[in-house]
Structure 1
Amino acid sequence: MLSDAAKTYLHDDLRWIRAATLAKLDGLGEYDIRRPLTATGTNLLGLIKHLAAWEARYFGEVFARPFPEPLPERGADMWATEHESRAEVIDRYRRVCDHSDATITALDLDAPGHVPWWPSPEVTLFKVLVHFLAENNRHAGHADILREQLDGAVGDGESAAGREPAFWESRRAEIERVAEAVGQAPVN
């Protein structure tokens, strides 16, 4: 059996990244949280809806502990419709997290599960927890970039503390200068 300390560590990391991702919506209006900021339409509220749907599947369906509410159809989970309020999406996300937390708490890391959409569908809670933690971190990175595009907010609110806009303008200009210099060099 895998260690309870490992389970606690992974679960704590999942809780932290959930909160960090959700915090990317703080202080933004309805338009900005729904705004498509990439060619594929990626937006902050859609990321939360997507994470809720997949977390419910991974810690629900996979371990025969289905989330008791309907989930969006696959492919319709990356954006919120005009009929879904911010509060609804966030509240569903929190309920999914509570449901997932109950699954993680109740099962041992070596508890078996079945992921029918994976090529090797027989898994353990450990494998799903690591997979979903990585997936959540990936989307948190997307949220970081989207939020920076919207209002310049970066990191966890502390990592850019004390930096003036002039610092970032200078940093960006230096990086651009290097990219141009290297881009003009002959390819080996």
Structure 2
Amino acid sequence: MKRAFPDGAADERGVLTGFLDWQRATVRRKVDGLPSNLADHALLDTSPLMTVAGVVSHLRQTEHDWFAGSFPSLANEPFARQPDGGWQPGGRAIADLVSVYETECAQSRRIVAGLTLDAMQEFTPPQFTPVSVRWILTHLIEETARHLGHLDILREQLDGARGY
């Protein structure tokens, strides 16, 4: 996916989906070129799941939870929530994790394209109140950007790669 800022004159949907796609594309940029043996390397003793592979796996699960999980009738397959939030990638290669993440992002885009920004979740976990597509898009921008910060730090510490 090519990174491109949303058009400065875009409508609300274009701005929200454009900034989320920018963040999504940056995930691949942060991972490209990482030696595969470093993807599962934990740097924080207190957070052993905070690895490049763990972050990418978690981002895929987050996309799945918020889009396929909120609109199961529009999902490609039955919704499956992982109790660990996707933080345990199960030894999968980083290239596979990125591919699965990008496939999940494509499904999320397709789901959002068929809904208005005001559409409310079809399914809401019992501990939450229903939210709109607008809220979900904004939350995913925040969540993805937050974890890109983690990827920035992990990547620089693992192999010295820097850049946005």
TM tier, smaller: 0.7 to 0.9
Q: Do 1:57 and 1:66's aligned partners in 2 also have CA atoms closer than 8 Å?
A: no
Tell me the TM-score normalised to structure 2 length: 0.83
In structure 2, what is the equivalent of residue 16 of structure 1?
A: 22
CA offsets, 1:58-117, max 9 Å, x none?
0111123335277572216213223x2333212211110110000111111001114316
Tell me the TM-score normalised to structure 1 length: 0.73
SS at match of 2:31: coil
Q: CA RMSD in A?
A: 2.0
Measure, in 1, the Cα distance between the counterparts of 2:11 and 2:34: 37
Instruction: Choose between structure 1 and 2 for higher RCO, CA contacts under 8 A separated by at least 6 residues.
Output: 2
In structure 2, what is the equivalent of residue 77 of structure 1?
A: 86
Q: Do 1:63 and 1:112's aligned partners in 2 also have CA atoms closer than 8 Å?
A: no
In structure 1, what is the equivalent of residue 41 of structure 2?
A: 35
Q: Do 1:37 and 1:43's aligned partners in 2 also have CA atoms closer than 8 Å?
A: yes
Instruction: Give unmatched runs, 5+ long, in structure 1.
Output: 157-188
Of Structure 1 and Structure 2, the greater helix share is in 1
Measure, in 2, the Cα distance between the counterparts of 1:90 and 1:20: 11
Measure, in 2, the Cα distance between the counterparts of 1:30 and 1:144: 17
The aligned amino acid for 1:68 is E
Measure, in 2, the Cα distance between the counterparts of 1:88 and 1:12: 25
Q: Percent of aligned pairs with the same residue?
A: 29
In structure 1, what is the equivalent of residue 3 of structure 2?
A: none
What is the CA-CA distance between 1:131 and the residue it aligns to? 0.9
Structure 1 runs of 4+ with >6 Å offset? none
SS at match of 2:103: helix
Measure, in 2, the Cα distance between the counterparts of 1:110 and 1:6: 12
Instruction: Give unmatched runs, 5+ long, in structure 2.
Output: 1-9
Q: How has the CA–CA distance of structure 1 residues 46 and 98 changed in structure 2, closer, same or farther, with 3 Å as cutoff?
A: same
Aligned length: 151
1:133 to 128, 135, 141: 141
Measure, in 2, the Cα distance between the counterparts of 1:112 and 1:70: 17
Q: Do 1:147 and 1:154's aligned partners in 2 also have CA atoms closer than 8 Å?
A: yes
